[in-house]
Copies of this chain bind each other. A is one copy, B any other.
Amino acid sequence: VSLITLTTDFGTRDSYVAQVKGELLRRGPAGLRLLDLSHELPAQDVQAAGFFLRYAVARFPAGTVHLAVIDPGVGSARRALALRAGDQLLVGPDNGIFAWLQASPERAVELDPSRLGLGAVTATFHGRDLFAPAAAALAAGLELGELGAAVDLATLAGEPWPQPAVEGARVRGRVVHVDRFGNLISNVPRSALSSFIAPRVQVAGHALGAPARTYADAADGAALALHGSEDLLEVAVRNGSAAERLGLGVGAPVEVGEA
């Protein structure tokens, strides 16, 4: 059974998502299933989309098609892509939203409207008029190569995932995402702390002590560091927002040193 997931910044107050869904179902194979991942990504925030896809995509069954449209440059010269990364297929703009996938892209093509049997594509709504037909074609079993010409993987847009810097007994990273609960999530993986005897965490100068095991290890309203659901070091406030409590956001420096 074929499956297409949808990830956008369209919201659902307007009919844009509905139009995409209609297009997918009308063009896709019988029995096609659609699955919303999110339509509430921050508007036109490519980095937030990259972080989202990094952790969402890899868990799906092999062959799942992921349609991802966060596209501030729609109508500009940015390319329209379909690509394979690990055993997942992805369709969306070449603007960096695929730069942080855990499985690096192995093959990518630039979508060619004529190969998809499309006439003029509107300049404003590629999600409906170009990406949806491409996703429907992949869900129907077409190969990447039938959708367009191969793209040199080295030319794909975006910076790779930022690894934290290790300097002697210090690890220096930064906040890469703030989640809905106000947790400050950094790029420092648990593995970076494996050689520490008594790690001490700081975020923008706030001392947080050793990583805790769980949110419940802090008092209400107190900040703590812990390894979050992706084994990334994060800063949280129990029953509160660390972002608000500390006044911090994406880019804030996170450091770990020995006690």
Task: Chain B residues near A35: list those with CB within 8 A.
Answer: 21, 25, 34
Tell me the minimal C-beta distance from A73 to chain B in angstroms: 6
Copies in the complex: 3
Q: Verify if A206 is at the interface (C-beta below 8 Å from B).
A: no
The docked-state distance in angstroms from the alpha carbon of A58 to that of B41 is: 27
Tell me the minimal C-beta distance from A256 to chain B in angstroms: 18
In chain A, positions 32-50 with a C-beta closer than 8 Å to chain B are: 33-44
- Whether B124 lies near A226 (C-beta < 8 A) is yes
Nearest-CB residue, chain B, relative to A180: B11
Task: Chain B residues near A228: list those with CB within 8 A.
Answer: 124-125
In chain A, positions 222-245 with a C-beta closer than 8 Å to chain B are: 226-229, 231, 239
Task: Chain B residues near A22: list those with CB within 8 A.
Answer: 56-60
Nearest-CB residue, chain B, relative to A28: B61
- Whether A18 lies near B216 (C-beta < 8 A) is no
Task: Chain B residues near A229: list those with CB within 8 A.
Answer: 16, 19, 122, 124-125, 128-129
- Of the candidates B23, B38, B55, B122, the one whose C-beta lies within 8 Å of that of A13 is B38
Q: Verify if A155 is at the interface (C-beta below 8 Å from B).
A: no
Given A15-B38, A125-B229, are A3 and B31 neighbors across the interface (CB < 8 Å)?
no
One digit per residue, 1 when the CB lies within 8 angstroms of any chain B CB and 0 when it does not, for chain A 84-123 equals: 0000000000000000000000000000000000000011
Give A residues with C-beta under 8 Å from B.
1, 3, 5, 7, 10-19, 21-23, 25-26, 30-31, 33-44, 51-61, 64, 72-76, 122-125, 128-129, 177, 179-181, 213-217, 226-229, 231, 239
A–B complex contacts, Cβ < 8 Å, 23 sampled: A1-B30, A14-B179, A15-B51, A15-B52, A15-B53, A15-B55, A16-B179, A17-B38, A18-B37, A21-B35, A21-B60, A23-B59, A25-B35, A25-B60, A26-B59, A43-B180, A74-B216, A122-B231, A123-B214, A124-B226, A124-B228, A125-B228, A128-B229
